[in-house]
Amino acid sequence: MPNLNIKVFLASWLISLGISTLASAFDVSSSSNFVAYWGQSSAGSQQSLAEYCSGSAIDAIVIAFLYQFPDTKLDLSGTCKSTFPGSSLLHCPDVAKDIKYCQSQGKAVLLSMGGAAGAYGFSSDADASKYADTVWDMFLGGSAAQRPFDDAVLDGIDLDIEGGSTTGYAAFVSQLRSHFTSSGGSKQYYIAGAPQCVYPDAMLGSTLDAAWFDMVFVQFYNNYCGLNNYPGSFNYDAWDQWAKTKSANKNVKIFIGAPGSQSAAGSGYVSASTLASIVSSVRDKYSSTLGGVMTWDASQAMGSSMWGQAVSSSIKSATPASGTSMRRRRRRN
């Protein structure tokens, strides 16, 4: 059995016995977090979730996608093919083990809802609140007869809403947060959003203003405000202003979303060194709102080019230990 498989097995076994294996935990207040989406294998060479969690480069993984709701359907692009008997709902025990392993390594693991392709949306606030109960029971701290990741408890939900109606998402977040509160606070849960860089975002704009988000993964690609147009029309400043003046959570963290390779997006890719320079400039100007870098996706960023490893290393090495600023889907295209 390969060494990593042994580590995954031992982590899962110890957790089942109630023995903590947690490494240094994910710190949402940091400005040097590196977050990667996983599940769609956009490069066609996706490794297991555990493989991406075995090193120090990635701080949080976002599983993509829960692409259909409220009639729940998942797509992990072939990573998981089994379903519950008599159902089209994926049942992914191997992914569940990997989730536990990632968490034992101090990584946060979220589930992304939406994506560029899918059939999703709510008819009303009541519909959205009801589905928040379902998500809590199926993926987070609740209980359900069918849980796609068995007893693995995810660390939060990401909203990557790129189509359909804008109805209900604020109510969804509010109801989900009520579950976070009523669970007693023994586990930290997160809500993230992934808007386009165009401000305000057409699909998530009103929800971002009304609901409490911990992290916002701004997609600085496939748009005029992308990283490839830095410094000209690159608009981190607009998102910084939103965080400070309109966000319900004035401590919300903004992540610079970047394609992990040339083929990961239609436009917006920049080299690791260029991105490191942009992050450094943003940190100098907007240190209180910067959360780090998000990339689409792990298969692109963590491949043979080592782009993701280089980006993660550069943004971490440029951050003081205290966390203060130094002076100096599918495929979404």
User: Quick one: DSSP state of residue 196?
Assistant: B
The residues with which 107 forms a beta bridge, in sequence order, are none
Q: How many CB atoms lie within 10 A of CB 201?
A: 23
User: Quick one: DSSP state of residue 274?
Assistant: H
Active site residue 162: yes
Residue in 59, 75, 162, 214 annotated catalytic? 162
Distance, in Å, from the CA atom of 135 to the CA atom of 141, rounded to the nearest integer, reads 9
Distance, in Å, from the CA atom of 21 to the CA atom of 103, rounded to the nearest integer, reads 9
Residue 278: strand, helix, or coil:
helix
Distance, in Å, from the CA atom of 171 to the CA atom of 125, rounded to the nearest integer, reads 5
User: Quick one: DSSP state of residue 200?
Assistant: S
Distance, in Å, from the CA atom of 50 to the CA atom of 69, rounded to the nearest integer, reads 27
Of 177, 149, 179, the closest CA to residue 61 belongs to: 149
Phi and psi, residue 9, nearest 5°: -60, -45
Distance, in Å, from the CA atom of 171 to the CA atom of 183, rounded to the nearest integer, reads 19
Q: Is the dihedral of CA 121, 156, 192, 88 positive or negative?
A: negative
Distance, in Å, from the CA atom of 319 to the CA atom of 331, rounded to the nearest integer, reads 31
Kindly give the residue spans of alpha helices, DSSP state H, lying in the chain: 3-16, 49-53, 93-104, 125-139, 169-182, 205-210, 236-245, 272-285, 298-301, 307-317
Distance, in Å, from the CA atom of 194 to the CA atom of 291, rounded to the nearest integer, reads 13
Active site positions, annotated = 162
